[in-house]
């Protein structure tokens, strides 16, 4: 009895995915720059700067389809679990891994993310934890990326710099404006056993700011 609905839902998810990617391209003419690596089908955590709800959409759009199918954005459940449309997009289209951002619960908030890694998925992760609305390049990283990397040290960490999307749709605006965006993939690295938390987070953060400066330099040529 369930199969026609499941089938329809999957079809709808597939069509919605195509429309979202098309919309993202019309709005931003987004271009991937594989600066430090090539698109490869290995398990990776793509960690990126976060300024807009569109960030994971943009990374997802530029990933080649085969890799995209195995890559799941990590997102706060407070935003994506609200309302049926968001739930459909978050779950069925992007196959997000949801985490509880509100602290205070006793369970490990990263448990679902580690589970996804154990299933072989790659992740899109925003280590700042929240959208950056300041003039700083990055907010200080939360500890999440460190605990993930330490608990699954064979997963490649790829810094990803998203340029300009914060101007397309700043926090609080409803209408996006069309501007050209780029998504630049930096050099992958792995967690070196023994690295302590603050050192690791500083290295990861520096890898991303270095990449950002390279992107901005390359435009001027």
Interacting residues with other proteins (CB under 8 A) = 29, 31, 164, 167, 170, 173, 175-180, 219-221
Q: Shortest distance, CB of residue 166 to other proteins, whole angstroms? A: 9
Q: Which is nearer to other proteins, 12 or 177 (CB)?
A: 177
Q: Which is nearer to other proteins, 155 or 162 (CB)?
A: 162
Q: Shortest distance, CB of residue 181 to other proteins, whole angstroms? A: 9
CA angle 103, 109, 110 (to 5 degrees): 145
Give the residue from 52, 89, 75 showing the smallest Cα distance to 173: 52
Q: Which is nearer to other proteins, 179 or 214 (CB)?
A: 179
Q: Which is nearer to other proteins, 38 or 154 (CB)?
A: 38
Per DSSP, which regions of the chain are E strands?
31-34, 44-48, 71-76, 97-99, 122-125, 156-163, 182-185
Q: Shortest distance, CB of residue 163 to other proteins, whole angstroms? A: 10
Alpha-helical regions (H) of 41-103: 55-62, 65-68, 77-80, 84-87
Q: Shortest distance, CB of residue 177 to other proteins, whole angstroms? A: 5
């Amino acid at each position: 009895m369930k199969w026609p609905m499941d089938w329809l839902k999957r079809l709808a998810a597939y069509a919605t995915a195509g429309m979202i990617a098309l919309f993202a391209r019309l709005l931003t003419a987004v271009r991937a720059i594989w600066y430090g690596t090539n698109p490869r089908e290995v398990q990776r955590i793509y960690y990126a700067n976060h300024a807009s709800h569109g960030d994971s959409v943009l990374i997802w759009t530029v990933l080649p389809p085969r890799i995209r199918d195995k890559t799941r954005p990590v997102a706060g459940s407070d935003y994506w679990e609200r309302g049926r449309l968001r739930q459909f997009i978050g779950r069925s289209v992007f196959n997000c891994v949801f985490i509880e951002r509100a602290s205070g619960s006793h369970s490990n908030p990263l448990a679902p993310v580690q589970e996804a890694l154990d299933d072989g998925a790659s992740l899109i992760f925003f280590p700042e934890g929240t959208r950056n609305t300041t003039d700083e390049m990055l907010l200080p990283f939360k500890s999440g990326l460190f605990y993930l990397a330490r608990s699954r040290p064979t997963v490649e960490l790829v810094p990803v710099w998203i340029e300009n999307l914060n101007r397309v749709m700043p926090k609080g605006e409803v209408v996006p404006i069309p501007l050209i965006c780029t998504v630049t993939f930096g050099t992958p690295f792995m967690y070196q056993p023994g690295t302590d938390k603050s050192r690791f987070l500083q290295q990861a953060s520096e890898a991303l700011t270095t990449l950002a400066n390279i992107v901005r330099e390359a435009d001027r040529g």
